[in-house]
Amino acid sequence: MAAYLQDADGSTTASRTKPVTLPTLQNMRQKGEKITMLTSYDASFTALLDRCGVDTILIGDSLGMVCQGHNSTLPVTLQDVVYHTASVARGNRTAFILADLPFGTYGTPESAFANAVQLIQAGAQMVKLEGGAWLAPTVRFLTERAIPVCAHLGLTPQSVHQMGGYKVQGKTNQAAEQLKADALALQNAGAEMLVLEAIPATLAKEVTDMLTITTIGIGAGPDCSGQVLVLHDLLGVFPGHKARFVKNFMEGQTSIDAAVTAYVAAVKDGSFPAPEHCF
């Protein structure tokens, strides 16, 4: 890690001394301590999130929208995520790092493995991919080869054309049952984390109660094992459409450190997400 980032904030003493690992996260789930996740794309913000106590950092393909200015995540390439992952890894000290496999990079188990290796070698400790039971053989293929996998269900932005927009998922009985079956299949295939995006809070609770692995919600209610937000949404600097689950944590704060610290506190004490952020 770059020396100038080491003591970037004189006012905040880094409280976490041990690196966050998968067993740490599993232990948090069992104890009922909420897991915090934020996206990050560069070294400086990563150092800030780390010293504010954010548990896990995601190099999301949302970078296509918040960094590159596209109106979807579809144009993001593997090399884009590799570049940002390497930057994040250099700024990180103890947070757990996961990176998105972008659209079109995990169509077969073999291609998923070759591409996931690139993300792990850039500094990710886990890779995330979007989709249901059809991905189970791919999840199995990766986890057998020592690559931890996070699956992503519900509103999966890489499927925007099939969904016909960024819409809440799992609303009908049939869609809810399908999502539960997908979640179980992914856990059985070896996934160790599951992101649930824009689904009814009641469904996210059922899925979390049914699984043993950690669930991380975004627009999925307060009962997941943890929460994730896009950093630019938390800071109120994303100029695009603001989803219902977004909260600007800069409001009432005078520094980015204070806003991130407020997010961590609100997730840990269960006050975020509030009912107005849920479906």
Ligand X SMILES: CC(C)C(=O)C(=O)O
Helix axes 136-144, 173-188, angle to 10 degrees: 20
Binding of residue 80 to ligand MHF (CB under 6 A): no
Quick one: tokens of 86?
């390497």
Among candidates 185, 174, 189, 183, which has minimal Cα distance to 206?
Answer: 183
Residue 128 annotated as binding? yes
Which positions from 95 through 134 interact with ligand MHF, judged by CB under 6 A? none
Q: Which of 110, 144, 192, 197 is catalytic?
A: 197
Quick one: tokens of 74?
């579809």
CB nearer to ligand X: pick between 138 and 227: 227
Binding of residue 38 to ligand MHF (CB under 6 A): no
Which positions from 180 through 199 interact with ligand X, judged by CB under 6 A? 195, 197
Binding of residue 66 to ligand MHF (CB under 6 A): yes
| CA distances, 238 to each of 56, 62, 81, 82, 155 (Å) | 21, 11, 19, 23, 19
Quick one: tokens of 163?
């969904």
Coil, strand, or helix at residue 127? Answer: strand
Give the count of residues interacting with ligand MHF (CB under 6 A): 17
Q: Is 197 a catalytic residue?
A: yes
Helix axes 109-122, 78-91, angle to 10 degrees: 30
List, as residue ranges, the binding site for Mg(2+): 61, 100, 130
List, as residue ranges, the binding site: 61-62, 100, 128, 130
Residues lying near ligand X in the complex (CB under 6 A) are found at 39, 58, 60-62, 100, 195, 197, 218, 228, 230
List, as residue ranges, the binding site for 3-methyl-2-oxobutanoate: 61-62, 100, 128
